[in-house]
Each structure stands twice: as C-alpha cells, then as structure tokens.
C-alpha cells in the first residue's frame, strides 16, 4: 500500500488529530511531525484519526506531516532482551544513552535488539523435519544463567529444510522453512504485535510466591 502522508488538524497534549491518513486501522503506528514522534491510532471518525503520541508534543502544529506505517506496534523477541533495559515502547535505553546522553532525544528510535552482536546458536533439531509455531529448534546462551530457546514463530509451520550451527546476528538466517507460501528464513528473533495474544496450549497455575 502506498503510504500517503497526513496532516495535523489539531493538537491537545499527547493527543494529535490528523487528516488524510487513508487506509489506516485502529492501533496502527504513525510517526508525527518532522521529528517523527512515535504514536498509535486510538480512534477513527470520518476522515479524522486520533493519535496517542508517546513523546512530548511541544512544537507540533497544524499541517505538520504525519507518516503512517500501516502496521501495529510490535516488539522484538530474541536474544538480547535479558541484557538490556527498555522503555515502554521497547527502545533500548542503554544504547540511547550512548548516543544521546542521559535524556532521550525526541524522535530517536533504535532497534530493540542489537543488530551487530553475534550469538552462538546450537541446533537441537536435524532437518528435514516438520515444525510448527512454538517448536524449539535450538538455543543460545544469553547470559551465564539464561539459556534462550529459539522457537519457530507462532504463525509459521512447514518443513525445516536447513538449520546451521555457529555465530549469528539476530538478522542473519540460521535456517529455512518450506511453507505453503514458499521458503522463509528462520532467524534468532521475530516480531510480534503487542496487542495480539500469544498462543498457548495451557496455562500453568502459580505454585510459588515471587519475591522481589
């Protein structure tokens, strides 16, 4: 879909009302203003979209641009989560501090997971083998105490035709899965919409108090 730029119609605190965003849906992410402040669409009425902006909206004005993504807010799930600190929209605060100091610069966005760090991946499955969402294909030792299980994404199933051992970044393919739609690359991480429930077989009742 062609991404048409909208225009700000009104600003009221963290709420920005926008015109001209054709084809957007509830909870789609938009970037507001020239600094591209991140926000979510929380209401639609006629040709108006109501956007909750998650950063300071000072300085925004009528007719400033609004850039739609046509995608929901997602999180990245993979190695690196345990060793980092994130804010509420999964921006890595430790990396942002290295770039911008103690205060978060408006509009700054970085990938949640480090794209350069390499992780040693050890497979536990041997292709060819049928797999589906949630199947564990291997593991990464994320810290001295935490073993990160690498799973097939919940919405993927098919024939695992390739799986490699070695050091990989989260963006490098560790294997391939033959699905009905074609061959897809399997990576150490995947993205998941924050408002979409994760599938499960059953919920386990708590048996011990978590002391913090």
Determine the pLDDT at residue 1.
54
The pTM of this model reads 0.82
Each residue of 126-143: pLDDT tens digit? 999 999 999 999 999 998
pLDDT tops 70 at residue 2: no
Mean pLDDT of the chain: 91
81 close to 119: Cβ distance less than 8 angstroms: no
pLDDT at 202: 87
**pLDDT tier, 9 (very low <50, low <70, confident <90, very high otherwise):** very high
The domains found in the chain, sorted by start residue, are 6-72 (2.40.30.20), 119-189 (2.40.50.100)
pLDDT value, residue 69: 94
Report whether 24 contacts 70 (CB < 8 A): yes
pLDDT tops 70 at residue 29:
yes
Tell me if 174 sits within 8 A of 163, measured CB to CB: yes
- pLDDT score of 139: 96
């Amino acid at each position: 879909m062609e991404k048409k730029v909208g225009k700000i119609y009104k600003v009221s605190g963290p709420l920005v009302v926008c015109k001209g965003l054709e084809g957007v849906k509830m909870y789609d992410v938009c970037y507001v203003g020239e600094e591209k402040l991140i926000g979510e669409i929380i209401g639609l009425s006629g040709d108006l979209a109501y956007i909750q902006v998650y950063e300071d909206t000072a300085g925004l004005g009528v007719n400033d641009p609004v850039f739609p993504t046509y995608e929901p807010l997602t999180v990245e799930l993979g190695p690196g989560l345990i060793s980092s600190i994130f804010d509420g929209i999964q921006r890595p605060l430790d990396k942002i501090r290295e770039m911008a100091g103690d205060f978060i610069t408006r509009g700054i966005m970085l990938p949640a997971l480090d794209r350069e760090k390499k992780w040693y991946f050890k497979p536990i499955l041997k292709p060819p083998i049928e797999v589906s969402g949630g199947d564990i294909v291997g593991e990464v030792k994320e810290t001295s105490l935490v073993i990160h299980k690498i799973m097939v994404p919940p919405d993927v199933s098919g024939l695992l035709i390739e799986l490699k051992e070695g050091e990989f970044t989260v963006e490098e393919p560790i294997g391939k899965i033959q699905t009905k739609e074609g061959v897809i690359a399997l990576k150490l991480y995947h993205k998941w919409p924050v408002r979409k429930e994760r599938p499960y077989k059953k919920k386990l009742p708590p048996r011990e108090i978590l002391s913090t």
